[in-house]
Amino acid sequence: MTRIPAPERREALVQAALRVVAERGVAAATTRAIVAEAGMSLASFHYAFVSRDELMTELINFVVDRQENALAPLLVPDGSTRTLHEAVRAGLEHYFAVLRAYPQREKAMLELTQYALRMPDMQPLARRQYDRYRALAASALAGAAKLTGNRWARPVDEVARQLVALTDGLTMAWLVDRDDDAAAVIMDLAADAIVALAEPATTTPSTGHPTPTMTRTS
């Protein structure tokens, strides 16, 4: 009907595809289901994309970039944070609140990751996805330590890797049994584990000048 530039059509189709994947899964994201969701005809799909594979690739790239923007503000500790433990716990809580509010979104992310792992040419996309998660976590962790007067006893990349692993485990656990109390237990223990990797910051190592900041509060 109306004439729409190709780039806009591509974006509309990608977003429609994401909705379909979130609501009904990757397997249900057929070209027909996607164009129906976008309110277009089937032919429009192949005008904007040469193939379904091309759309799936763009979809994964899209969600990876989007994830970065969506999660970044959540992991930055706010002014009310006093201890590192509070900051980490708050970050986990924030992540969990999003998971709880939009479970299909995280389910979609997991499915898309596994989809990428099955496609010979898409492994790099899955890696990029996790690299971003970790970079995001690392910068949040670095900021949180700095703000609370701590430093990481391990390379911050390793701490970030652990935080992402814990977050994946939390996500799977909650998606499977939807048990908020059990999720809270995981977050408690995860925060303890992460904070145990930090120590009070000192301007010079081994200085007899401990900062008043606590490494951990239980």
- Contact residues toward its own copies (CB under 8 A) are 24-27, 107, 110-111, 113-114, 117-118, 126-127, 129-130, 154, 158, 161-162, 164-170, 172-173, 175-177, 182, 185-186, 189-190, 192-193, 196-197
Name which of 83, 73, 77 is nearest 215 in CA terms.
83
Rounded CA gap, 133 and 163, in Å? 10
SS3 119: coil
* Nearest-approach distance from CB 123 to its own copies, in angstroms: 8
Smaller CB separation from DNA, 57 or 213: 57
Number of residues that bind DNA (CB under 7 A): 24
Per-residue binding string, DNA, 58-87, x by CB under 7 A, is ------------------------------
Rounded CA gap, 213 and 198, in Å? 12
Smaller CB separation from its own copies, 38 or 126: 126
State yes or no: residue 50 binds DNA (CB under 7 A): yes
* Nearest-approach distance from CB 34 to its own copies, in angstroms: 16
| Residue 138 backbone dihedrals phi, psi, to 5 degrees | -65, -45
Among 22, 23, 24, 46, binds DNA (CB under 7 A): 46
State yes or no: residue 118 binds DNA (CB under 7 A): no
Do 108 and 21 meet the contact criterion of CB atoms below 8 Å apart? Answer: yes
For β-strands 198-200 and 150-152, DSSP reports them as antiparallel
State yes or no: residue 99 binds DNA (CB under 7 A): no
Burial grade of 197 (CB within 10 A; 0-12, 13-18, 19 or more): buried
